[in-house]
Amino acid sequence: MLRFDGRVVAITGAGRGMGREHALLFASRGAAVVVNDASIAMDGLSTEAVSPADAVVEEIRSAGGTAVVNRANIVDPEGGASVIADAIEHFGGIDVLVNNAGVVGHSSFEDCSIEERDANMAVHFHGAWNVTKEAWRHMKSRRFGRIVNIVSSTAYLGAQNRVAYTSAKGALIGFTRTTALEGEEHGILVNGLGPAGHTRMTAASFKDFGKALTDGSEEASRAWLDRYFNIRHPSVGVLALAHEDCRVTGNFYNCHGGRMWRTFFGEGDGFIASDADFTPEAVMQNWDAVEKLEPYAVLKDPADSMAHLMELVSRAEA
């Protein structure tokens, strides 16, 4: 069994939904947990009166676990820093950070307001930045850290009427890759996990989705949701990536429906020509080569990509 005894875990947006599930599972495996939730409304444009984080902490303690509440708004740099400050004050350090907090907008690009755009970017990206910034120096000094950023497959697949959400999650993809490159030599491993679960944030879209993929009845839709969007499943992937035995970094995974799988960005060989022959017309005439997906290479960083290009050019010119 993967245990987290002696480990300190901070989870943002852990008062409800999948964040709550993460907190409960970490605590059941021996971790001391900082449960952050600022009660930001689902659209990110307002704040609710009572933080649900208190109830999660009480649930953990009632089960014999260890947890403390943090009600700060991580959109503010001071609020983000306070999550880690609470971990250090109450438990003496920080080992694992799960950047889970999120909001969602349901507007098309044409209809999306600046307020909706900024609210999504503020929570998903700025919030993750603010908490990670404070955690980083503590993890670096101890030469150990596990960071799991909750990303979304919609960032690279797209999703109609969620342009603010998908764009903010896209920012987290670049953030994950770069911090993984910078953190590895210091023992800080950073990965992204795209979850899917039936929560209040996804209820409307998943309900229609389920009806379209079943016979349309409420009973069939409910059974479909329970099988493929069980709210417990993503936490399994989060804990696997957060454990000290995990050695991967800079990768992206999806986890739901009883399945965990890696998603990667690869480069096909493409079309290669000499300087004199490399023209827009030549590219269009060789579009099949441009689009061809195999063979492909999964590359670590820009230097790796450049080396791959040089190898392909050398091979073509040989």
**Cα distance between residue 306 and residue 116, in whole Å:** 38
Report the DSSP beta bridge partners of residue 254: 194, 261
Spatial CA neighbour of 152 closest among 114, 100, 190: 100
CB 183 within 8 Å of CB 172: no
CB 37 within 8 Å of CB 14: yes
Instruction: Exactly one of 156, 165, 228, 253 is catalytic; name it.
Output: 165
Report the DSSP beta bridge partners of residue 32: 8, 66
DSSP of 12-77: TT-SSHHHHHHHHHHHHTT-EEEEE---B-TTSSSB-SS-THHHHHHHHHHTT-EEEEE---TTSH
Query: E strands, the chain, where?
Result: 8-11, 32-36, 66-70, 96-99, 145-150, 188-195, 252-256, 259-263, 266-268, 296-298
Asked if 156 is an active-site residue, the reply is: no
Quote the distance between the C-alpha of residue 211 and its chain's center: 27
Which residues belong to the active site?
165
